[in-house]
Amino acid sequence: MRPRIKRHFDYVTASQTLPAASGIINVVLQTRLDAPFVLRSIAARATFGSLSPASAALVQFANSDGKYYQNAPIALGLTSGSLFSATAPIPLSGQAPNGVYTPSAIVYPPGSAIYANVQNPTASDITGFQLFFRGYQLFECGQIPDLTYPRQASANPYSYVVGTLTQPLSLPVQMAAPLTNIKIPGNNVGGGQQNTDADFAARTARCYFTTSNGQYPQEVFVRLRDWNEKAYSNDLIHIDILFGALGGLTAFSGEQLWAPGLFTPEIYVPANQYLQMDLQRTDGAQIGFFATENFTVGFRGSKVYRQ
Amino acid sequence: VRNYRAQFPVATPAGYYDEPAEYFFDTNTLSAFNVIIKAGQQLNNIALVLQNSQQGTFEYDFVLRAIQVGDPQSSNSGVGVRFRDPLGNYISSDYEPMQFYFAQNLNQQVCGFAEVNEPELWYPAGAVFFVDLANLSQVQIQLGFFQEGGEGPFEMAAFPIVLKGVHRFPRGGNQ
């Protein structure tokens, strides 16, 4: 078998409202044309105002031939790894952990379709509903740069932090368009120092808001890109999914980071290059009081030194 | 398949054996933590002594595999932390919110998972672990402040930092 290159990738469905007591709603995602997609985990989310009904949403998904893996739509929590408690079911699947892994890999050819059926059996609308199909693209050798560890190298644990004390990354309540080209390593938009002394293998990421008023932002979305602008997802991904959950048992206890988001496989950034991040916040329609807040992201992994 | 590396538990090098070890520091045991940090203020190079003669562990190498920072009373949420490796190099590009080093267990305000170091960091016997603190928030923070009538059922350790890993011994040595 010819060697192939794995590259982390997430497919996310468009945000939609599932009306109360809906019938089955069909969702179709087309995979990219450049490489097959290998599905390894499923996750889902809804806006914080729809937590309770979303926990009862039903989901069913299929391979590219339309063969469903469930005989009928089943509870979201069972499909996508929700956290449940007696008082507040939480369908934020990013944290438990990063969706539920499929028992075996499901391969979608380039340009094929990911079919899913969703249903809202509750008496309340579910807003901001999204499904996440997480995994990796499988490229032929030579199709993209083959980034991996040198034959001889040493490593050190390391975190690259974006949005710092001296260079804060400030997010207004509502952003009409994403803030783009935030560079890692480096800080904020444009420029920033490059990682000149070592490669960097990013394995996990976390985020945090050093909020000024105790009100944590809720609708914050991120898309990662490599230095060639090639994205690691088809659209912006909510931070609860990509960076591990920010939400806790209550809608606003955003300081509780359950577990970091995992990159599978890890994202390898060679020396003198960088990872890029697009960032958008769309709060405002939800309950509560929101203000401009400073945002911090930490990408954790290893510096890899060539020898 | 290229560009994939399975992640395995860290193996003990040949010729050594490991024993589990944890080091615990908080505002009660380390006076340097018993401070008020103003907004934007930085407190750097706070030394955490890994071994001392009272514990009889002065000759032990310590291999750090994970770091855990707690916030039992949820009063330190604006604190940033930065750590160094045994050679004095920072292991992050800047201060990280302390929340990156813990995951709270439901609403009980206790520490959850530790943040894992991969690969591990090997601190030789007698080494000192340095931590930098900064106030990333816009208000003053009294580190480890215990609020009477808070959520905790009793007074808990204030601003605990736990270094998790192993003591490493050479086989055939005098341990």
Where residue A289 falls among pLDDT bands split at 50, 70, 90?
low
The answer to whether the beta carbons of residues A298 and A159 sit under 8 Å apart is yes
Residue A52 has a pLDDT of 67
Residue B109: closest CA among B80, B77, B133, B84: B77
* Residue B45 binned pLDDT confidence (cut-offs 50, 70, 90): very high
pLDDT tens, residue by residue, A230-247: 999 999 998 878 887 654
SS3 of A41-79: EEEEECCHHHHHHHCCCEEEEECCCCCECCCCCEEHHHH
CA–CA min distance A267, chain B (Å): 9
User: Tokens 């090997």 map to which residue?
Assistant: B122
CA nearest B6 in A: which residue? A265
Interface probe, candidates A166, A257, A274, A293, chain B, greatest B C-beta count within 10 A: A257
- Residues A156-193 have pLDDT tens digits of 999 999 888 878 888 888 899 999 988 887 544 444 45
Q: Which of residues 210-229 of A touch B (CB under 8 A)?
A: 210, 212
Q: Which residues of B touch A158 (CB under 8 A)?
A: 91-93
Residue B131 C-alpha, separation from nearest chain A C-alpha, in angstroms? 15
Q: Any CB–CB contact under 8 A between A264 and chain B?
A: no
Which has the closest alpha carbon to A162: A103, A102, A202, A199?
A: A202
As to burial, measured by CB atoms within 10 angstroms (0-12 exposed, 13-18 middle, 19+ buried), residue B153 is exposed
Residue A253 has pLDDT above 50, yes or no: no
Rounded Cα gap, residues B33 and A84, in angstroms: 37
Identify the burial level of A164 via C-beta atoms within 10 angstroms of its C-beta, where 0-12 means exposed, 13-18 middle and 19 or more buried. buried
Inter-chain touch B92–A161, beta carbons under 8 Å: yes
Chain A residues touching residue B1 (CB < 8 angstroms): 3-6, 138
Q: How far apart are CA A297 and CA B1, in angstroms?
A: 30
pLDDT at B70: 76
Chain A residue whose CA is closest to B4: A265
For residue A255, list chain B residues with Cβ-Cβ distance below 8 A: 74, 77, 99, 104
pLDDT at A33 over 70: yes
Task: Report residue B55: phi and psi, to 5°.
Answer: -85, -5
Under an 8 A CB cutoff, do B107 and A302 touch? no
> Looking at the predicted structure, is the pLDDT value of residue B72 above 60?
no
Asked if A298's CB is within 8 angstroms of B100's CB, the reply is yes
Section B95-123 average pLDDT: 72
The DSSP line for A119-148 is E--SSS-EEEEEEEEEEEEEEEBTTB----
pLDDT in tens, B110-119: 455 678 888 8
The model's pTM is 0.87
| Confidence grade of residue A8 (pLDDT, cut at 50, 70, 90) | very high
More confident residue, A186 or B28: B28
Distance CA B169, CA B77 (A): 38
- What pLDDT digit, counting tens, does each position of A87-136 carry? 333 444 434 446 677 778 899 999 999 999 999 998 999 888 888 899 99
Residues 8-37 on B with a CB inside 8 Å of A are none
Nearest residue of B to residue A257 by CA position?
B103
Which residues of chain B lie closer than 8 angstroms to A146, CB-CB? 2-3
Alpha-carbon gap, residue B98 to A208, rounded angstroms: 9
pLDDT, tens digit (0-9, with 9 covering 90-100), for B127-143: 889 999 999 888 888 88
Q: Which residues of chain A are within 8 Å of residue B85 when distances are taken between CB atoms?
A: 156-157
Q: What is the pLDDT of residue A186?
A: 59
Interface of B with A in 61-120 (CB under 8 A): 74, 77-78, 80, 85, 89, 91-97, 99-100, 102-104, 106-107, 112-113, 115, 117-119
**Testing the interface with B: which of A5, A255, A293, A305 to mutate, by most B Cβ within 10 A?**
A255
Q: How many residues does chain A have?
A: 307
Q: Give the pLDDT of residue A221.
A: 92
